[in-house]
Amino acid sequence: MDMTPDPAPPAQPLPEPRRLGPLARLAPEPMKVVLNWGRRYSLWVFNFGLACCAIEFIAASMSRHDFIRLGVIPFAPGPRQADLMIVSGTVTDKMAPAVKRLYEQMPEPKYVISFGACSNCGGPYWDSYSVTKGVDQIIPVDVYVPGCPPRPEALLQGILKLQEKIARESTGERYAPAKPSVQALTSGLVTPPAPAPGSGSGSGDTK
Partner 1 sequence: MTETTIGIGGAAEGTDMVLNIGPQHPSTHGVLRLRLVLDGERIRSAEPIVGYMHRGAEKLFEARDYRQIVMLANRHDWLSAFSNELGVVLAVERMLGMEVPERAVWTRTLLAELNRVLNHLMFLGSYPLELGGITPIFYAFTEREELQQVMEEVSGGRMHYMFNRVGGLKEDLPNGWTGRARATVAAVRSRMGRIDDLVLGNEIFRGRTRGVGVLSQQDVHGFGVSGPIARASGVDFDLRRDEPYLAYGELADTMRVVTRTEGDCLARFEVLLEQTHVALDLADACLDRLTDLPPGPINQRLPKVLKAPEGHTYAWTENPLGLNGYYLVSKGEKTPYRLKLRSASFNNIQALTVLLPGTLVADMVAILGSMFFVVGDVDK
The residue ranges that bind partner 1 (CB under 8 A) are 48-52, 54-56, 58-59, 62-64, 89-90, 92, 94-95, 98, 102, 124-125, 127-131, 148-149, 151
Which of 129/186 has CB closer to partner 1? 129
Q: How far is the CB of 48 from partner 1 (least distance, A)?
A: 7
CA dihedral of residues 26, 28, 29, 30 (deg, nearest 10): -160
Q: Using the minimum distance from each CB to partner 1, give the nearer residue, 139 or 166.
A: 139
148 annotated ligand-binding residue: yes
d(CA 113, CA 23): 31
Q: How far is the CB of 174 from partner 1 (least distance, A)?
A: 26
| 86 vs 166, beta carbon nearer partner 1 | 86
Please tell me whether 121 is known to bind a ligand: no
Determine whether the annotation assigns residue 53 to a binding site: yes
Return the number of the residue (78 or 140) whose C-beta is nearest partner 1: 78
Phi and psi at residue 51, to the nearest 5°: -145, -150
Task: For residue 115, give the 3-state DSSP assignment.
Answer: strand
Output the CA–CA distances (angstroms, integers) from residue 111 to 43, 52, 140, 146, 161, in the order listed: 9, 22, 8, 17, 12
Minimum CB separation of residue 141 from partner 1 in Å reads 18
Cα separation, 74 vs 120, in Å, equals: 22
52 is in an annotated binding site: yes
CB atoms within 10 A of CB 159: 23
- Binding site, annotated residues for [4Fe-4S] cluster: 52-53, 118, 148
